[in-house]
Structure formats: structure tokens, C-alpha cells
Structure 1
């Protein structure tokens, strides 16, 4: 059974959750840890000869250590690149937290040291008219990793996300600051200092923008000891 499992959320969509997740997986592999990951629901999938595939799920598969079939990593693949609940409606399907919890529990039974479950968008993304994605980590009692994009407004979004997670009875296990594009925000250092003083959780790293994605280079910028209990020197 996976010894440590975390849910990865963002303050919004397009903040780099998959890149951060892949970098954490790569860092854990460098520490000789066995890793698995899943993205239960993915919209914006492409048709391939082997069915619908999502580039974020494929990125997770590339950097986790254990070999799993695509369907276990991304069991609910939706083609339109829109909100998951709307994409599901258009596909004639219905999303439910209960089903996703069952899928996640199944993967959590796999032998691994670290497991990541990547969400979609932010903390309150709806699954249906009654449930949001937050129900999944709440039902499983998971620690949450927040991905914070370094851009104007990120302090407010980050603090509100952390507040909502704690309101739901969960722990913010850590957060990662990510530069989602080449633009350097004004007063970046001051923003980082404020977040480090007010998030109430460890900063796991600050990831630079790379024109050519290099997960190994990004992993080198992370300290995941708060997640694994393993010192980076080991």
C-alpha cells in the first residue's frame, strides 16, 4: 500500500500542477522511492489509435517509477478542453466523488512509497451539481500540495485556497511556487517572502520557467523532505 499519498491542487487552472507533480515524482525517484500517480479525471484529451489520452497523465506516467496501464492513471478521459463536469455532460457521462474515491483507493493499494493524485483546476472545481473535486481528498483524508503561480493576485488566491482546504478539515502538506510563463512578476521576492510567512505550510520549492521543459532540472529545485521524511542529503 502507498505509504504516503497527497492530493495536488492549484489556485486556478493552468498553473502547472502536472509539471509540479512530475517534478515531485522525479525528485522522489532520485531518493530511491517507488512512486505512483493518477489524474482521475482529465479533460482536453486527444484521440489516439489507443483511445483518448491526456498529455498531463502521460507526463505523470513518464516520471513515476511504477509501470501502470494508462487507464489506471487516467480512468476518466474526456475530449473537450473545458471544465470536467461540463465535458462529462457533453460526453453523456456523470462524474461522482464516490466513483473517484473507489478508483483512488484501488491505486492506493499498489506497493509504493509515495503516491500523488492530481486534481483538475482549483480546489472548488465542480464534479456535478452537488459535489466539488475537494470531496475526493476529503473522503480519503489526504494532505494537500498547493501549486501557486507567481503572477499578480497569487497571494490572495493562495491564502484563500489554503483557508478552504483547512476549512474542509485537511492539512496543507506544502506548496510549490511555479513560474507558468516567461514573465517575471513585479516584486517577486517580496511576494515569496509574504507567502512563506503566511501560508502556514512549508514551501517545497520555487520552479523557474524553462522554455524547454526539463523535469530533472525542476526536480533539483525541490525539497520534498516534508512529504517523505527523507533528508535531501540522503
Structure 2
């Protein structure tokens, strides 16, 4: 949504059924796919916990992936307003590292990104209801931004329940589920196709694509994993 309150057509908030289920992979793939549509794309991860100091600069793998996948080169302080070092729950790390997370500041950074890009993909942290402060959680952040939501479903045992509960939580916040992506976390999952079919019957949003388990060492080293994942996502299905 822009500063005048008008919903931007290509901006989305990406959440997941859990942590470590491929939100960054999908967010980066979406950015590549959007760039292929001719849109100036920018990724944003408002809060990242877990960073290494390299040559005097903090680096987080998720943030670096979004930066690499974006066609717009935005300042790090806009892409990730809150970059913390310890890889743990953000509300705990923020307290330990004396960081005060402000949702209005995150919204202001997002608004600045909208002036530079046609499409902004905002990746959440952890699942949809992860605490950020004593008062607010990731769902509050999504609600503050007011963007349509893309749900990443990590395909593994229990994913149906996790996906449906997350979809209910998204709807309870008055947010629209614009689409979902099935990401293969467990390649040995039994009845994988049946699980996807069950979710298609129950989620009121289109399946944007199913990403298989991708080899971390592809034959073509010049093609990133996010670029390969983009081939499995159809952004034209977003509604």
C-alpha cells in the first residue's frame, strides 16, 4: 500500500507454516519471476536474527539472498531495518541486544522501498505469529503493512494442519491470502501429491507452484537456487 492508502498491485507479504521451510527461497524466486515480468523488484526482510560480521559489515544469509534476487539496489537499512546477530527468537534477541523494534519504522522503510520499485516482496520472520516485542508479533507487522499474503507451505508430515491454521490466522487479521507455494522440505514425504490436493481443496487461494527439493550444487553454478525455484512459480496466478 502506498502513502496515499492505495493498494499496490505487485506487493506481497510472504509468511510460512513454520521456520526453515523455504520463505527466503520462495521470496527470492518471486523477485526473479517478477523481474522477468518487467517489474522493478525489491525484497525486504524487516527483521533478521542471525548475522556474521564480515569486513566490518553484518551479513545475514536471508537478507543477502533477497538483495541478490532484487533488480533494485536498495540500501540495507531499508531492506532490513533490524539486523541482529544472535540466531534465536527475535523478541529475545532484541531484548538481549538492546534493540527496540518499531512497527511504524518498518512501515516507513517499506514505504520508501515502494518509491524505488514496482514490486516489493516482504518476507516475515519465522511463522505467522512469532513474537517481536512484548506487545507485538509478526501478524501485527503483516497487519501494519496491509499487504496480500503469500503462504509458503513446507511439505512434510503435519503440513496440512499447519497450513490451514496459518490461513485462519491470516484471515483473522483481515488480510487476504493471495496465493500459496508448496515447497518440498521432505522429499521422502508419503503421499505428497495427495497432501497438495487436500490443501488445494481447502485453501481459498491459488497454488502458485510446487518447488521440488533442489540440489544445493547444481551443474550450472551461474544459476542460483532462487532462479531455479522461480521456474516453478507462476506469478500470473496471483489474485
Corresponding residue number in structure 2 for 1:86 = 92
Give the Cα separation in 1 of the matches to 2:225 and 2:141: 30
Give the Cα separation in 1 of the matches to 2:85 and 2:120: 26
Residue 48 of structure 1: how far off its partner (Å): 1.4
Match of 2:62 among 56, 79, 82: 56
* Pair 1:210 & 2:214 matched: yes
Alignment gaps of 5+ in structure 2: 3-7, 217-223
- Which moves more between the two structures, 96-105 or 86-95? 96-105
Per-residue CA deviations over 1:75-133 (Å, capped at 9, x if unaligned) read: 211011001111111101122322222222222232x2211000000110111111111
TM-score w.r.t. length of structure 2: 0.90
Corresponding residue number in structure 1 for 2:167 = 162
Q: Secondary structure at the residue paired with 1:120?
A: coil
Per-residue CA deviations over 1:39-62 (Å, capped at 9, x if unaligned) read: 011001111114211111111111
Residue 184 of structure 1: how far off its partner (Å): 2.1
| Aligned-residue RMSD, C-alpha | 1.5
Corresponding residue number in structure 1 for 2:13 = 7
Give the Cα separation in 1 of the matches to 2:105 and 2:38: 32
Per-residue CA deviations over 1:173-197 (Å, capped at 9, x if unaligned) read: 100000135x321110110000011
Aligned residues between the structures: 226
Report 1:46-195 matches (<5 A): 46-110=52-116, 112-181=117-186, 183-195=187-199
Alignment gaps of 5+ in structure 1: 230-234
Per-residue CA deviations over 1:117-150 (Å, capped at 9, x if unaligned) read: 0000011011111111111221222100000000
* Pair 1:226 & 2:221 matched: no
Q: Is the 8 A contact 1:8 1:147 kept in 2?
A: yes
Give the Cα separation in 1 of the matches to 2:106 and 2:226: 28
